[in-house]
Every structure is written in C-alpha cells, then in structure tokens.
Structure 1
Amino acid sequence: MQQEIKTSRTARFTVFSILLLVMLLAACGVNKDKPSETSSITPQATNTESTETAAGSSETPSPSGTEQPKTRTVKDDLGRNVEIPVAPKRVIAGEFASELLAVGVTPIGAGDNSFKIIFTQKEMAGVEKIGDPPNAEKILELSPDLIIAPTVFQEIYPEPMEQLAKIAPIFYVSFDQDPIYDIFPKIADLVGKSTEAKQWIADYEKEAQTAREQVKTAIGDDTVTIFRVEKGRLRVYLNRNFAGYMLHSGLQVHPPEAVAAEIEKNKNGSAFEISLEKLPEYAADHMFIIVRGEGDDQGAFQEIEKSALWKNLPAVKNNKPHFLDTDKYYGSDIVTIRETMKEAVEMLTK
C-alpha cells in the first residue's frame, strides 16, 4: 500500500514538473519577442546629446526615460540668448521666407519683402502678410511660436519689435553675412531642418560649379559689373542683392578693379553711389543694368543713353550691356540667387 502511495506521489510530481517546465519555456518565448516597455526608446528620444549648432543652440541632456525638453536656447546675431521651441510649428518670417521654403517649411506669416520674390510667389499663397512695419495685432491673431526677423527691424522698428517680443520669441538675423553659408544654415537649424539645408547647399554648389565653367569658357577673364539707374542716382552693386552675390560669389566673375576695391572694404556690402562722370571708371567688359520699366527711372536712363560718355563705354560699343528685370533680381535670398544665376549664364554665354 505504501509503495502505491509513493508511486502515485512520484507520478504527480513528475507531471507537475513537466507542466512547470512548459510554462517557463512559454514565458521565455514571450519575453524574447516582446521588448520591455520601460526600456523602449523612440527615435526622437535618442537625440539627447548636448549640441552646438549653426544658430548657436544647445540642449541639455535628459536622463533616460524622462520627458524630452520642449524648448532650447539659441544665440541670435544680436548676441542674445533666446529660448525657442525645439520643434516650432507656427513661424513668422519678417524676412527669410525663401530660406524656410527651401527646407520645406511654410511660414504662417511674412513681411512685405517676402511676397516680392518672384520665384516663390506660388509657395507663398495662403501665407498671411504681417505688414511693414510688422503689425503686432495681426501677429497676435496668428499665434506664432517663433518670429524670425532681420536685425535692421530692431533699428528701424524698435517699438513694434518690443510688442512682438511679448507675443513670441524673436530670433534676429543679420544681413551682414553670407546668405548661403551663414544665414541659411541658421534659419534651417531653428526649424530642425539642418539636413535639408546641407542637401540644398550641395545641389547649389554643383550647379554653381557647372555655371562657372560655362561662363569662364565664354568670357575668359572679362570683367562684369552691375549698375542701377534711378532718377537722380546711379549706383554700383557689390556682393549682396540685385545680382551682386550671384555674380561675384556665385559665378565668381571678375569685377573692375575699382569695384573689387569696394567689395574688399565690405564683403557683404549692398551698393554705393557714384556720379555719372565716374561711370567709365566702374564700367566693365560686360555690364548688367537695372532700370525700372517705367516712370522717372526710365526717363533718367534714356538721358544717360544719349550721352557720349555712355556710347563710348566698351560694353556698349561691343553690344554687351545686359538689362535685368528689376522685380526678378530684387531679392538677396538664396532662391533668387540660385534662379537668377541660370539666367545670367545664358546672358554671358550667348
């Protein structure tokens, strides 16, 4: 009898051991296939290292498993530390709308100059105009989480900008720097699009290199300069707007010595005024001329055309003055630079 009981207990223990082993194996299989919830990390959460960016920004690392920071501190071109959203969604562009569009970000509002850029007018459809000077009431209605403005706004619109600072953080950008290699990366970093900016720049550099080779083959070491004629004023453009950057930094054509000396004084300068008598000193083998198509500016240019001084310029004698569309060449933004470069190549290589 005792032997039967012992045998029965042994059998039950054996069955229980087998069941326990099966359950343990099943549990191991589940754990292997399903990661622990407490150790899971999203792609966004992995980017917690302290970084220094083109805009002078830094983030503080967060302990593993804690909520990621919603803001970060960046240094603008006024040297101010500005706290901005890590991922701004509603951006106002006092200027620099083209730079935002180039990385796939459409501002919710923009200053008047942004709507004058011929090459981005379609993309600006639906963007609200904030006025010039910026209208604080209009901007308040738009509820921005970031405002990007040129430093000159603080100089010429101090009171409106003081009001805007109460609505959203303002990041100031100076025009006195390279538009493609300085301004553009800063703007892209603000909205988390540094990778897109690097790709845009890489594509631009390939286009620019091809364009330079074409122009070099066509005109060799000929000089090129840009003039704008207005009523009562004649200006020579340097290395920024109205094709200045596109020609001198993009295509890297040679300016006359007098113009090169002015560029040397101010690498990011816009323009300087000369008298009509000085025109031959600043003229070049190829001359880009900017004159509005109607009004007093056109009348002023017609007077210059009649002068012997104009007719004796080498570029005029050789039929090499090139007339630019004022509205098309107006901007100093990166999209205008890239697009007008294509047209300038056609003009210089004909």
Structure 2
Amino acid sequence: MVQLFKNFKAMLLVSAVLLVLLIISACGGTNVQEQAGENKPANTQQTENNKAESAEASESATTKKVTDDLGREVEVPVDPQRIIAGEFASELLAVGLKPIGAGDNSFKIVYTLDQMEGVEPIGDPPNIEKILDLQPDLIVAPTVFFEIYPEQMEQMNKIAPVFYLSFEQDPIYGIFTKLASLVGKEQEADTWIKGYEEEANTARAQLKESLGEETVSIFRVEKGRLRIYLNRNFAGYMLHSGLQANAPETVKAEIEKNPFSSAIEISLEMLPEYAADHMLLIVRDEGDDKSAMEEIEQLELWRSLPAVKNKRVHKLETEKYYGSDITTIRETMKETLKMLTGGKIQ
C-alpha cells in the first residue's frame, strides 16, 4: 500500500512538471507570435514611410541633371525663373516664358519684337557685367558661343548653369523640343508643334495644287557673295522642310551632301544650274547689297533665266526672313505660300 502511494505521488509530480512545461511553451509561442505580429506592421510602416519620404524629396527637388549638346552634364533648376535666352528667346516665348535677357539677334526677329519689351540685350559678345547684374538662374547659349567666346562663357558658367544648344539640328524637332524639356514646358511645346504641323500640311497641299511639279529655290545676295539656302536654318528650312517645295535636282543633291549646312556659296556663273521655275531672293534694299543686285540684273546671264523671263522672281524682306527661329519659320511659311500662289491663298 505504501509503495502504491509512493508511485501515485511520483506520477503526480511528473504530471505537474509536464503541465508547467506546457504552460511555459505556450507562453513562449504566444510571445513569439506577438513579437512577429508587432514586427511585421512596423517593417511595413517603415517601408511606407521611406516611400513617402522619397516621393516628398522628389517633389521638393529644386534642381535636375541634364546633358547639353556639348555632352556636358549640367545641374539646372527644375523651374527656372530668370532665364537668359542667348539666341533662343523666340522658342521660350512660344511656350509662355519670357526671358530676362537675350542675345542681339533675338531683337531682330520682327514677329516677336513686341513680346521682347522688358527683356535686356546682353550684347554680342556677351557683356558679363550686365549678365551678372541680371542674376540669372539659367543661361541658354548656342554651342558656337563656346567656340568663339570661350573666356566670356567660362565667366558666365560661374554666374549660373549654362546649357548649350547646337544649331546643327532641326530647329523645331531638335532645338525647340530640347529647350522645352529643359524648362519643363513639354506640353506647351507639343501644342505648338501640333498647330504648326496642321498649318504646314495644309500649306503643302495648297502649294502642290498651285505649282504642281514646278521648282522653287532661295538665294541670298550680298556684295561679293551669292549663296543658296539649303534645308537647315534660315529661310531654307521654311521652304524645303516647312513647305516642302519641289527643289531643282542640283539643290536636292546639295541638301543630301550637306545635311547640316544652312547654305553654300556659289559663283555667279553657276547660278543657272541652281535656278528654279520660281526664285526667292533675300537682298537688302540698301547699300552695297542693293548695288550688287542691280549689277546682276543687268547681266544677260540673269535675264536669260526662266524665272526672270516669266516674272517669277520674288524679293523677300530681309528683316522678316532673317531669323531661323520657330516663329519666323511658321510666319514666313504662310507669307511665302501666298507669294508663290499669286495671293490665291488667304
């Protein structure tokens, strides 16, 4: 009996120990689960916080890094407020931005001159003191400035970030779109381009209907120099790319051979080779250039040209056709269309 009682006590002791172990194990499991449960939301919350902070930092960033046409990485303002436009004032105006300063050529564009009130000319070469006084936060300059004004450009780069644009690209789908992206005005540029393309497509169809396969070429006459404009910049882009006028085969060959050239110089004796059924002339109505044109008009070589015989020579106003900016391209395209169609297109 005593032995049985001892065995019973031993069994109770073992049971008690097992019960305690089970309780401890259950509590430990609960704590692990609770700890895991607590850690998971904490990690998720931290991730969400990091994302929010990253988004906030992105939204609050005041500068961005871009690459200009010289291959330079430049840190520029995301939202520039005081821009010196160099030769690109017309393009900035087209997207609703008015520069604080611009190069001298920007003040020769008749189509945007009324919008340039209050814009300071920075001179040519650029006047560093004036630029310093203007306190720009962004300077846009043609790559040619880097070549011909190296000292001034080095000084300007210390005043504000300088972004270089090359003229050796399409003025609308190259220069304009890059500039719009630089200043955060892509949507405004897209709207402008769509409007231009609608006008250009209509003008091309009207020109084709009026002229058929007749050819058109455009020349610049100066004292001692005769140039024919190709398909890059100046009025050549308007004629050959905007209106897509049919050019003489010799001109087409030059455009293909010199895709980045605005014009080529030819001798007077070569004029008949590049002459077209319709000839557009850019010549100043005064001074030596006017005298040079008057001398040419007295030559038999000139008088024998088909366009001269058929009275299809059109003299263009130098002031209007001087620029190669997008506004000049668009407006002179309309005027040239009227000229070539005899005013039939309104």
TM-score by length of 2: 0.82
Within-5 A mapping of 1:206-245: 206-245=198-237
How many residue pairs were aligned? 292
The 1-side partners of 2:98 and 2:290 are apart by 36
* 1:231 counterpart letter in structure 2: K
Q: What do you get for the CA RMSD once the two structures are aligned? A: 1.5
Q: How does 1:181-200 map to 2 (within 5 A)?
A: 181-200=173-192
Higher-helix-fraction structure: 2
Distance of 1:89 and 1:181 partners within structure 2: 24
Who is 1:76 aligned against? 68
Partner of 1:275: 267
- Which one of 77, 86, 95 corresponds to residue 85 of structure 1? 77
- Are the counterparts in 2 of residues 62 and 68 from structure 1 also a CA contact under 8 Å? no
Q: Which secondary structure state, in structure 2, belongs to the residue aligned with residue 304 of structure 1?
A: helix
1:269-290 deviation per Cα after TM superposition (whole angstroms, max 9, x unaligned): 1111111110000100000011
**Partner residue, 2:119:** 127
1:229 deviation in Å?
1.0
1:63 and 2:50 aligned: no
Change (3 A) 1:241 1:177: closer
The answer for unaligned runs of 5 or more in structure 2 is 1-50
Q: 1:340 aligned to 317, 332, 343, which one? A: 332
Map 1:99-178 → 2, pairs under 5 A? 99-178=91-170
| 1:262 counterpart = 2:254 | yes
> What does residue range 291-330 of structure 1 map to in structure 2 within 5 Å?
291-330=283-322
Alpha-carbon distance in structure 1 between the residues aligned to 2:297 and 2:55: 72
Report how far residue 69 of structure 1 moved: 1.0
Counterpart contact for 1:62–1:69, Cα < 8 Å? no
- Equivalent pair of 1:110/1:130 in contact (CA under 8 Å): yes
Report the residue type matching 1:82 in the other structure: V
How far residue 264 of structure 1 moved from its aligned partner, in angstroms, is 0.4
d(CA) in 2 for partners of 1:85, 1:300: 49
What's the secondary structure of 1:82's corresponding residue? strand
1:34 aligns with none
Quick one: structure 1 residues 187 and 312, their matched pair in 2 at CA, closer, same or farther if it must change by over 3 Å? Answer: same
SS of alignment partner, residue 289 of structure 2: helix
Equivalent pair of 2:80/2:138 in contact (CA under 8 Å)? yes
CA drift of 1:266 comes to 2.1
Of all paired residues, the percent bearing the same amino acid is 68
Give the deviation of 1:128 after TM superposition. 0.4
CA-CA distance at 1:327 after TM superposition: 0.9
Structure 1's unaligned 5+ residue stretches are: 1-48, 50-60
Asked whether the 8 Å contact 1:241–1:330 carries over to 2, the reply is no
Q: Following TM superposition, by how much is the alpha carbon of 1:62 offset from its aligned partner in structure 2, in angstroms?
A: 6.1
Q: Tell me the secondary structure at the aligned position of residue 65 of structure 2.
A: strand
User: How far apart, CA to CA, are the structure 1 residues paired with 2:299 and 2:53?
Assistant: 71
**Does structure 2 conserve the Cα–Cα contact (< 8 Å) formed by 1:287 and 1:322?**
yes
Instruction: Please list the CA deviations of residues 223-252 of structure 1 after superposition, one character each: whole Å capped at 9, or x if unmatched.
Output: 111111111111111113331000100010
CA distance in 1, matches of 2:100, 2:92: 11
User: Is the CA contact (8 Å cut-off) linking 2:70 and 2:143 kept in structure 1?
Assistant: yes
Residue type of the partner of 2:219? F
